[in-house]
Amino acid sequence: MALDLQKLAISEIRARLLKDDGPVSPQLLNALKRDARRGVRDLYTLAKRRADRAREERARLDAMLNFERVLWKSGVKYIAGVDEVGVGPLAGPVVAAAVVFAPDTSIDGVDDSKRLDPERRRELADRIRDSALGIGIGAATVEEIDRLNVYQAGLLAMRRAVEALPLPPQHVLVDARTIPGVAAPQNPFTKGDGINFSIAAASIVAKTHRDRLMEECDPQYPEYGFARHKGYSTPEHQAAIRRYGPCPLHRVSYPFIRELRGQYSPLFYELQALLARARTAKQLDAVERRFKTCSEELGEHEARKLKLVLSRRWKAL
């Protein structure tokens, strides 16, 4: 945009600003600021906000890329960020992704996939796939989750994702754990999908891939609504399990599945109903005393669940 704004009508300046969604240059900001017209002053305020947001995004990405840049400068070229998704759902596989970028790659908007809405995740997943040197996808099946437990299945999925890369990584950055069976040096980051660029990119790719898998399963099991909740424990999903029982996609080793199917003890459901009806501290205290007197009659998962609900109910009073 020409900096001689005096020759442009306010509507023309506004149209050009709206058309150009890129960063606002300091020269343009200064020109807008110097223009005495009230309408242009309003546009300056909008442009300043956009410039501030762009500067904040650059600072955020710089922080997220800090570890990669240290490795790149040391001569390590192929760095894989690895993350998995799908630990929490009641159904479907655990999916992991490994992503390798060329040195100095940066993509605006990359963040923990949980902080992004579905449309933004899909958009960023496409940009990541276009920019990455290599992407590997790994999964652990429902059968493996039930046999191994979901934590071990997540590690298996991440190892498979690294092995699926088209080029061997020289270094691996992982969200909160170390992957067994991977020869390259590794660095685990607590909540890495929110603080590390490569891990965040992997979380986006893994999430969009798993969502697509669950959507593809929906026509086979339409009564469960997998396309909507992706296997997570929503009220709709819980109601479907109570009504229809589990399908082959459900993780039947999960205690909550047994609870929803009515396979816990009658005492558990009795105490659960009493807890649901308790509205006062006196009523809650009575339920807690009954729970303590008969807790040995409950299974381990039953007692743990009721203790958790009791704690939350006390905090809510």
Domain count, the chain: 3
Tell me, yes or no, whether 273 and 131 share the same domain: no
pLDDT tens across 274-312, in order? Answer: 999 999 999 999 999 999 999 999 999 999 999 999 999
Q: Name the DSSP class of 249.
A: T
Tell me, yes or no, whether 111 and 56 share the same domain: no
Domain extent at residue 273: 266-316
Tell me, yes or no, whether 11 and 43 share the same domain: yes
What confidence score (pLDDT) does residue 6 get?
67
The answer to the question of whether 83 is labelled as a binding residue is yes
Tell me, yes or no, whether 29 and 107 share the same domain: no
Cβ–Cβ under 8 Å, residues 150 and 251: yes
Q: Name the maximum alpha-carbon separation found in the chain.
A: 84
pLDDT tens across 67-97, in order? Answer: 999 999 999 999 999 999 999 999 999 999 9
Confidence class of residue 8 from pLDDT cuts 50, 70 and 90? Answer: confident
Query: Whose CA is closest to 138, among 192, 105, 99, 190?
Result: 99
Tell me, yes or no, whether 97 and 145 share the same domain: yes
Tell me, yes or no, whether 87 and 165 share the same domain: yes
Q: What is the CATH number of the domain that holds 83?
A: 3.30.420.10
The distance of Cα 173 from the centroid of its chain, to the nearest Å, equals 17
Burial (Cβ within 10 Å: 0-12, 13-18, ≥19) of residue 205: buried
Give the length of the chain. Answer: 317
Tell me, yes or no, whether 186 and 82 share the same domain: yes
Q: Name the DSSP class of 172.
A: E
256 in a domain, yes or no? no
86 in a domain, yes or no? yes
238 in a domain, yes or no? no
The answer to the question of whether 57 is labelled as a binding residue is no
Tell me, yes or no, whether 187 and 205 share the same domain: yes
The answer to the question of whether 211 is labelled as a binding residue is no
And the tokens for 201? 């990119």
**Paired strand residues for 173:** 81, 187
